[in-house]
Amino acid sequence: MRRGAAFASLLDEAFSGLWRARRVTVVSILQISFSLFLVGLFLLAAENLGGVVDTLREETAVTLFLRSGADEASKATVERTALESKLVAAVRRVSAEEARGRFARSFGSLTGAAGTLSGNPFPASIELDLLPGAISSAALRPFLANLAASPAVEEVQFDVDWIRRLRGVVRLVAAAGLATGVFLALGAAFTIANVVRLTILLHRDEIDILRLVGAPEVLIRGPFLLGGVLQGLFGGIVALGLLALAFRGLLFFVSSTENVLLGVFVVRFLSPAICGVLVLGGVLAGLLGGTVASRRGHV
Amino acid sequence: MIEFYRVSKEYHGRRVLKNLSFKVAQGEFVFLTGPSGAGKTTVLKLLYRAEGPGEGQILVNGRNVGAMTPGRVPELRRTMGIVFQDYKLLPSRTVFENVSFVLKFLGVPLAERRRRAYQVLRLVELHHRVNALPEELSGGEQQRVALARALVNEPELLVADEPTGNLDHRLAQEVMRLFSQINVRGTTVLVATHDVNLIRETGRRCLTLDRGGVLEGLVEAALPPQAAWRRDGGVRLPPREGEEH
Ligand SMILES: Nc1ncnc2c1ncn2[C@@H]1O[C@H](COP(=O)(O)OP(=O)(O)OP(=O)(O)O)[C@@H](O)[C@H]1O
Ligand SMILES: [Mg+2]
């Protein structure tokens, strides 16, 4: 109970300290929220790009387009080779008719055009669903080359390079976000340190008096440290609010535009865990700034 | 209670105290006097460790104040009541808060803080100004707030630097009576003042720091033998410069 009361009075002192230096306090909160907002944008981009990659990976299949005159025996050989490779989960035969049906379902408006072509322009194919982990397996490339060499196979379609590159981009975005974040958070910590130092200067006389009458160090420095932490906390919360607003704005923009593809890229907000990490980042920056400014000998 | 043993202190190479030795026993009430600039405030600052001694040893209630680590100093000060020459009130706090906040450090609950602060403010006749800010008070009133703050934690040792400098004679006498009462209850009292009349009227032991800026020892030797002190409130003059006892 007494501990709670002591903390309440520390908090009270911290708030009144921030209030007395409210203009700089607002500036430092805005700065930290801007930093965290930028980090959040990076993370948001990484999260959604990552989502796209995941979706693509789920749908990752190798398509083997078959030569139109290929005999049944060599098609069966291809299927057997695939199943025995330990890279493939399932094998599906898609006839030319089915291929045309799929096309019609996906692109209704173009069916007319396809219908006017003489004969069926869609080749029959064999689709392979890869096992998880197959994409990164070193055996995948020789395996695909082997299949491509089969007399029944006209062409092997597999976009693994593209996916790999995309995943690299996602990683880069996330890393750039984190690096920028650490950098900006340090800058914010520096600002917070300055604000705390300023409030300390404003209270210089009071601090001297408190010392002279024997106030414990926690009561003297605690409020300033706590003031820094509070700034970081508020900065983090404001940043989250801004991010949520920006995200809603983007969603609105995407849903009102004709461009369907954009919809694939903007779907998810940050997970609660990442939101927590952002706010925690603010708190840590505040703690760092507050500690630096209020360390012994500076108060 | 207080022991100075061959204490010297210099500020930026200028010697203020030299080989100062004296003792104040537990439960004593002692004046410290001497001309302006003699080093009275310096002696008190050494006591509550606002300054470190250059040389020598200082013991307060058995604690070696000179060798104390900074972490221990707040604890020392909390056992003392200190009246500063320039009051040192918190400008943004009311009279009441100025007096009661020291009790917070001692973990006294709010209701008890209220009660005790009000009590001491009554003693210094300021209970009607509890909600005033220091800047709204006269010099003498501020001084009494400082007094109240020093008394509120019932200290083992009360150290007062010119506590009556801004008070009229009646109030000054009142304050001395207050100090005597506190002293009777067991608090050791050390008062720095150059108000010779006050010392005379109060009739307590008096330590004199030498004139001339640089202190030449004290003064203990210059005091009349203990037997000659008059404890009945009678008059005893502090020894003057060059005076033989
Ligand atoms: N912080 C300081 N730095 C340098 N010199 C100081 C400092 N404090 C005091 N002095 C010098 O030390 C000497 C003693 O000062 P002190 O304040 O102890 O005198 P005092 O006896 O209390 O005088 P007063 O009766 O005027 O209060 C003075 O000459 C003063 O100028
Ligand atoms: Mg003085």
pLDDT of residue A109: 53
| Structural domains counted in chain A | 2
Whole-prediction pTM: 0.67
Total domains, chain B = 1
Residues A144 and A174 in one domain: no
Report the alpha-carbon distance of residue B56 to residue B126 in Å, rounded: 41
Question: A299 in a domain, yes or no?
Answer: no
The domain boundary, picked from A97, A128, A157, lies at A157
pLDDT 10s digits, A69-95: 778 888 888 888 888 888 888 888 888
Is B77 within 8 Å of A205 when comparing Cβ atoms?
no
* Cα angle: B173, vertex B179, B185; to 5 degrees: 145
Q: Looking at the domain assignment, is residue A188 inside a domain?
A: yes
- Measured in angstroms, the CA of A225 and the nearest CA of chain B are apart by 19
**A75, A118: one domain:** yes
A120 and A184, same domain (yes or no): no
Residue B92 placed within a domain: no
Instruction: Mutate one of A213, A219, A221, A298 to test the B interface: name it (highest B CB count within 10 A).
Output: A213
CATH number for position B59:
3.40.50.300
Note down the domain range covering A151. 61-157
Is A95 a domain residue?
yes
Residue A265 lies in a domain: yes
Same domain, A171 and A250: yes
Q: Do A261 and A177 belong to one domain?
A: yes
Q: Is residue A46 part of a domain?
A: yes
Q: Which of A263, A266, A260 is nearest to A106 (CA)?
A: A260
Residue B96 confidence (pLDDT) = 93
- Cα–Cα distance measured from residue B111 to residue A167, given in angstroms and rounded to the nearest whole number: 65
User: Of B205, B209, B141, which is closest to residue B175 (Cα–Cα)?
Assistant: B141
Residue B74 to residue A212, Cβ atoms within 8 A: no
Q: Is residue B96 part of a domain?
A: no
Give the mutation target among B10, B11, B20, B161 for probing the ligand 1 site: most ligand atoms within 8 A of CB.
B11
Number of other CB atoms surrounding residue B229 within 10 Å? 15
Q: Are residues A51 and A185 in the same domain?
A: yes
The region of weakest confidence among A56-60, A160-164, A241-245, B232-236 is: B232-236
Among residues of chain A, what percentage have pLDDT more than 90? 5
Please report whether residue B220 resides in a domain.
Answer: yes
Neighbours of B53 (CB within 10 A): 20
On whether both A170 and A42 belong to a single domain, the answer is: yes
The answer to whether residues A142 and A241 belong to one domain is no
User: Quick one: A149 and A176 in the same domain?
Assistant: no
Question: Tell me, what's the pLDDT at A264?
Answer: 60
Domain with B206, as residue range(s), is: 1-72+188-245
What integer pLDDT is reported at residue A218 of this predicted model?
A: 83
Q: Which residue in the block uniquely carries the two structure tokens 């410290």?
A: B32
A144 CB neighbour count, 10 Å cutoff: 20
- Any domain includes B136: no
Q: What is the pLDDT at residue A108?
A: 54
From chain B, which residues contact A within 8 Å (Cβ)?
Answer: 48, 50, 70-71, 73-78, 80, 82, 84, 88-92, 102, 104-105, 107, 109-110, 149
Question: What are the C-alpha distances in Å from B182 to residues A127, A288, B155, B158?
Answer: 99, 47, 9, 9
Q: What six digits make up the tokens of A170? A: 């996602």
* Residue A201: C-alpha distances to residues A20, A204, A205, A221, B74 (Å): 12, 5, 8, 13, 21
**Res A249: pLDDT:** 86
Listed residues A108, A129, A157: the one ending a domain: A157
- Of A157, A186, A220, the position where a domain reaches its end is A157
Q: Tell me: do A151 and A196 sit in the same domain.
A: no
Query: Is residue A192 domain-shared with residue A245, that is, in the same domain?
Result: yes
| pLDDT reported for residue A240 | 92
Domain assignment of residue B84, yes or no: no
Q: How far are the Cα atoms of A6, A192, A203, B113, B170 from residue A13, in angstroms, in the given order?
A: 11, 17, 11, 18, 39
* Inside any domain, residue B34: yes
**B37 C-alpha vs ligand 2 centroid, how far in Å?**
7
Instruction: Identify the bridge partners of residue B2 per DSSP, sorted by sequence position.
Output: B24, B60
By Cβ distance, the residue of A5, A209, A219 closest to B105 is: A219
Helix ranges (H only) for A203-271 are 204-212, 217-256, 260-265
Whether A200 and A278 share a structural domain: yes
pLDDT at B92 over 90: no
**Residues lining ligand 1, judged by CB closer than 6 Å?**
B 11-12, 16, 34, 36-42, 85, 194, 213
Inside any domain, residue A298:
no
State the pLDDT at residue B212: 35
Cβ A212–B78 below 8 Å, yes or no?
no
CATH number, domain of A111, equals 3.30.70.3040
